[in-house]
Amino acid sequence: MNKIVTIISSIVESAFVECGYDSCYGNVTVSNRPDLCQYQCNGAMAAAKVYKKRPSEIASEVIEKLKASEIFSEVTIVNPGFINMNLKDEFISEYINKINSCHSYGVEITDNPKKIIIDYGGANISKPLHVGHLRTAIIGEALKRMGRFLGNEVIGDVHLGDWGLPMGMVISEIKSRNPNLPYFSHKELDEYSSKAPFTISDLEEIYPTASKKAKEDSVFMEEAKMATFYLQNGKKGYLALWRHILKISTEDLKKNYGKLNVEFDLWKGESDCHKYIDKLTSYLKEHNYAYESEGALIIDVAEPEDKKPIPPFILLKSDGAVLYSTTDLATIYERVMLYKPDLIMYVVDKRQSLHFEQVFRCAKKTGIAGEALNLQFIGYGTMNGKDGKPFKTRDGGTMRLEELIKQVQQKVKEKITMNNSDLDMDEIEDISRIVGLSSLKYGDLSNQISKDYIFDIDKFTSFEGKTGPYILYTIVRIKSILRKAAERKLPVSSSIGKPQSNTERDIMLKLSLFSDIVETSFEEKVTHKLCEYMFELSNLFNKFYQENKILTEQNLELQGSWLSLLSLIKGVLETCCSLLAIEVPERM
């Protein structure tokens, strides 16, 4: 169904045309002064410059045409030529009933669906998820879900760090502890054990130990580089050991991402594109894109119009080793070849913007990414502590994501336990899990993606204000009302009647904007607008709840209309939560 703003714009555009003006001046927007009007058109000011008339004169002509429309209750001019419009309640309720009968609540499937790959996650094999992995995971998941809701084919790829020097470090540390393992024998076996000689707990201790040793011990660092070389050149024992590391780490990562309600379609990593690097290098050399400089193989990506220096893209180091730039370029090559996407989105720390600028330019310059392929960098800011610095543990270390989730859930649990005596412990645990995650996710996603933000556990877990718990509590309150209505066998109207108050009208107008919010959020690749919408709709409902005795209303026709409206509010809020991968409990 058409968006309400589109319908109104079409009528206003026709009025401009009837008056002899171009239709482009009839664009309508939601009013930025809701105390004055519901919608506004500012086109008369722009038209005045072209047609050499006063804006008020043009606006007056247009308004005379609009008065004949059946959808407006009031159309007025505000100097110098703003056209302010209010809709008839009959039109508003008619539009809301159309939304209510639509399974997607008015959101239209795109006429031009795209195949989109979203690169988010970026976890490293053999390392646990830490707080730095939170934003990419939940932002990427939200964008994936919004894209699919609008009818696009969206593929989520975790893009694991599983092939570089860190793998060599881990293998070298395992060897130093257990040199007699068959993986390190000079005599390669045709088949190695299917059982790994370590657990995920072992790996989580091995990696930081190896990393520390590599920084302090040059001999160990050389061993790690040699192990990386053996691995990347197909030494059977090292490959078998690497497969164990990959399998155990991936299983653990799937479990932990699952706790965040984050799912990936592809569990690919740097290793998957490695087989294309030789072919890619040959292509770039043959077509004179790459050349040697101080032993390294590089590609110039700077442009004459650049206002800041853009360093050359390094394809291979002087010793022939590959870099992140190499694997990122090869990954684009692989994705184009296997999936033929229209758009590849990278949800990555904004501090990597220069790196991806180089990668994207190189992909475009060399023809690896065709003209039609859109490469988009979505850089997010950092989650900081109250001191304004990147979030750390009390001793200054990087906090595990699992530990952060536990802390938030414990905080929520304390509040729920304090205010609910009728819940058993199992239910409290489950509610704390759901509400705790909503605190963490909504607290993050309600900020502009590119901005840094302060993690404040007390603020995020509050049941009041712009928080996840407040949104969920609103939905649970509506569920409770509808449940009680069903128990009392109160009839729910098949249609929603005209608004009976300003608050009810405001709710309907807010519901009418749901499709605009979803489309805009995905088009602009943001999440905070959807979060703001959820908060505003929740506020309006709670105001309505305070103003009306819904379950004891004597006018059954009005009561049935209200219950139908509540069901619609619940459906829209639950859909918003689903788009942000936020679960909703039955009780709180």
Cα of 13 vs its chain's centroid, Å: 35
In tens, the pLDDT along 280-318 reads 999 999 999 999 999 999 999 999 999 999 999 999 998
Instruction: State the pLDDT confidence band at 394, using cuts at 50, 70 and 90.
Output: low
Those residues with Cβ within 8 angstroms of residue 398's Cβ, 6 or more apart along the chain or in another chain? 130, 131, 132, 392
Looking at CATH, the fold of the domain delimited by 436-579 is given as Isoleucyl-tRNA Synthetase; Domain 1 (1.10.730)
| Residue matched to tokens 């024992």 | 237
Q: DSSP secondary structure string, 237-298?
A: HHHHHHHHHHHHHHHHHHHHHHHTT---SB--BHHHHGGGHHHHHHHHHHTT--EEETTEEE
- The answer to whether residue 420 scores a pLDDT higher than 80 is no
Instruction: State the pLDDT confidence band at 422, using cuts at 50, 70 and 90.
Output: confident
- The answer to whether residue 399 scores a pLDDT higher than 90 is no
Q: Are 525 and 491 in contact (CB under 8 A)?
A: no
The whole-angstrom separation of Cα 467 and Cα 288 is 55
Give me the mean pLDDT over the 270-288 stretch: 94
Q: Average pLDDT, whole number, for the chain?
A: 95
What's the half-sphere exposure (Cβ side, CA atoms, 13 Å) at 58?
A: 29
In tens, the pLDDT along 142-201 reads 999 999 999 999 999 999 999 889 999 999 999 999 999 999 998 889 899 999 999 999
pLDDT at 352: 96
Q: DSSP secondary structure string, 344-369?
A: EEEEEEGGGHHHHHHHHHHHHHTTSS
The conformation of residue 315, written as its DSSP 8-state character, comes to E
Q: Are 565 and 499 in contact (CB under 8 A)?
A: no
Q: Which CATH class is domain 4-87?
A: alpha beta
The whole-angstrom separation of Cα 58 and Cα 77 is 10
What percent of the chain is predicted at pLDDT more than 90?
90
Smallest CA-to-CA distance from 181 within 173, 157, 41 is with: 173
In tens, the pLDDT along 209-267 reads 999 999 999 999 999 999 999 998 899 999 999 999 999 999 999 999 999 999 999 99
Q: Are 200 and 247 in contact (CB under 8 A)?
A: no
pLDDT at 421: 67
Give the tokens for residue 271: 């290793």
Domain boundaries, the chain: 4-87, 165-259, 436-579
| Residue matched to tokens 């007025």 | 76
Q: Are 323 and 298 in contact (CB under 8 A)?
A: no
